[in-house]
Copies of this chain bind each other. A is one copy, B any other.
Amino acid sequence: MGESEAILKILEKSPVFENCEPTSLTQFVAQSNIISVEKGQILFVHEEPAKRFFMVLGGWVKLFRETLDGSQAIIDILPAGHLLGETSVFDDNKYPYSAEAVEQTKLISIPLNLLKSEIDDNPKMASAMLYHMAKVRRQQDRELEHLVVQNAPQRIGCFLLRLTNQREEGPAKIQLPYDKSLVAARLGMQPETFSRALSKLKEATGLEINGSTISLNNVRQLIEFSCAACSSEFPCKDLKSKASCATQ
């Protein structure tokens, strides 16, 4: 399969692009390309003029901003299926964050001006984009809620639950997707806080950690522990999960 054909197959299945006019989709495909970036490579920098946006195909991309005093605030770490930089069209064409590959990562690079004109010209595309934005807003809303009401062990538990197959109960093995230090930063915790919280989570739910593999006797224990401090019942429809990655 050629690159264009591959891009077409991916875009036409994506919730944002499936409403694209066929002629516009052809244009998107013609002007997009698949890129591969190494671990640590910066894709774009916060506030820089935005020309392209991206869809993650494989790997992980860290979105972050640097504060004036030099610390880094991690906004998100995106797996396959997710868009990044797409909201620049509503923000003076400037990137709202910086993006860096956490490991070797494959992405589709797509021109932003095409997205802008398709949104302006095609009401269905505008509507798809609105649903997409509303979904991201619900996810952010939930993250804000958790930062306020969940304690650190519960937040780690919630993060782990999103990595499980959310339909199954009983024993489970969960693979951490990236370094523990990055998980801590993603959850807005200092490494020491993360360590202490993980110990408490082990005590409370009986989970076992072996390198990057986490074993649980029963997912239900983790659900009861973490989801008590959440306004949504498990399985959660708002938060990004492994299962929902493929379709965003």
- Report A's interface with B, CB cutoff 8 A: 46, 65-69, 71, 73-75, 87, 90-91, 96-97, 119-121, 123, 126-127, 129-131, 133-138, 140-141, 143-145, 147-149, 188, 227-231, 233
Contact = CB atoms under 8 A, between A and B. Distances in A.
A138 B96 contact: yes
Listed from nearest, the 9 A-B pairs whose CB atoms lie closest are: A90-B134, A148-B188, A65-B231, A126-B126, A69-B228, A133-B133, A140-B140, A73-B145, A147-B147
Secondary structure call for the A interface: helix
A137 B87 contact: yes
A141 B87 CA distance: 12
Given A130-B90, A130-B119, A74 B230 contact: no
Contacts of A133: 90, 130, 133-134, 137
A147 B143 CA distance: 10
Given A147-B147, A148-B188, A230 B67 contact: yes
Nearest to A187: B148
B145 A144 contact: no
A188 B87 contact: no
Contacts of A91: 134, 138
Contacts of A148: 73-74, 147, 188
Contacts of A188: 147-149
Contacts of A228: 67-69
Contacts of A231: 46, 65-68, 73
Contacts of A143: 144
Contacts of A69: 228-229
Contacts of A73: 145, 148-149, 231
Contact of A134 (B46, B87, B233): B87
A74 to B, nearest CB: 7
30 contacts: A67-B228, A67-B229, A67-B231, A68-B230, A68-B231, A69-B229, A71-B229, A73-B149, A73-B231, A75-B141, A87-B137, A90-B131, A90-B133, A91-B138, A96-B138, A119-B130, A120-B127, A126-B126, A126-B130, A129-B130, A130-B133, A133-B137, A136-B137, A137-B137, A137-B140, A140-B140, A143-B144, A147-B147, A148-B188, A149-B188
